[in-house]
Amino acid sequence: MAGISASMVKELRERTGLGMLECKKALAEVEGDVEKAIEELRKKSGMKAAKKAGRTAAEGVVVVKAADDNTSAMLVEVNSETDFAAKNEDFVAFANKVADEAFASGSTEVSGLLDSEREALVQKIGENISPRRASKVEGEVVGVYVHSNSRIASIVALNGGDVALAKDVAMHATAVNPRILNPEDMPAEELEKEKTIIKAQPDMEGKPAEIVEKMMGGRIKKFLKENSLVEQPFVKNPEVTVGQLVKEAGAEIVSFVRLEVGEGIEVEETDFAAEVAAQLNS
């Protein structure tokens, strides 16, 4: 492995987008000639695209597709490894095509959708790309809102009202991120977890049980209000709640969904220079 420097590996990785170990191996096979390494890697493009599927993709976009009659809509999250790749026009076109296919089929199972096209794009862009998840909402009136960075989007379904109202509520959900629709929708395990946290707070220490319960009741009520869509102050007019806004329009919120790119994905931070040095010294 003598003669293969960290700078060679870095150059090949930057020019191909492939993993460090792949680049190191390719350079070893051609005695450190970067151009020859690129040529050999291109010959094996299908294999390399498949191998990159293990890399973490936590950036990307959320794409929305809505029915012409505004009675249904679907959100689809497609991931890339970097924000830079998420802005690539080929990536954006692929994400929209995935959303089109998912909406046309009505299926929210998107993990293997358009896989051959995905592999070709992985090789072209040099990053792992992955359709991750989709959510569909149906109702009498459906409104959608996508944040300008395409990383967060929401769908809201109403009984009554109109598309403009549904879109306003979707905009609120996108901005404020409610966890549930109504206070009673909070899962029991989440309530118990919150109660445990409240009981452990310093100002609860040493107080009689009945006082603790009374204080906890007030804080749980506040917790539910802060996290329930219908109870939150409307982002455009905090003088009214979202629930009041919708009720005054003669409507009712039936359901909503909000997706944000990368939710729940753990990304391991790495030091590139240290990573290269460690691999070359191994």
pLDDT in tens, 197-245: 888 888 888 888 888 888 988 999 999 999 999 999 999 999 999 999 9
pLDDT tens digits, one per residue of 122-152:
888 888 899 999 999 999 999 999 998 999 9
Task: Quote the pTM value.
Answer: 0.76
d(CA 107, CA 67): 14
Q: How many CB atoms lie within 10 A of CB 271?
A: 9
Q: What tokens appear for 184 in the block?
A: 């009673």
User: Please, which pLDDT band fits residue 260 given cuts at 50, 70 and 90?
Assistant: very high
Q: Are 2 and 20 in contact (CB under 8 A)?
A: no
Stretch 6-27: mean pLDDT, rounded?
A: 80
Query: HEC states along 135-198?
Result: EEEECCEEEEEECCCCCEEEEEEEECCCHHHHHHHHHHHHHHCCCECCHHHCCHHHHHHHHHHH
For the chain, what are the domain ranges? 6-54+269-281, 59-182+254-260
Region 155-182: what's the mean pLDDT?
98
How far, rounded to the nearest angstrom, does the alpha carbon of residue 28 sit from its chain's CA centroid?
A: 38
What is 6-54+269-281's CATH superfamily? Ubiquitin-associated (UBA) domain (1.10.8.10)
Regarding the domain with residue range 59-182+254-260, which homologous superfamily does it belong to in the CATH classification? Answer: Elongation factor Ts, dimerisation domain (3.30.479.20)
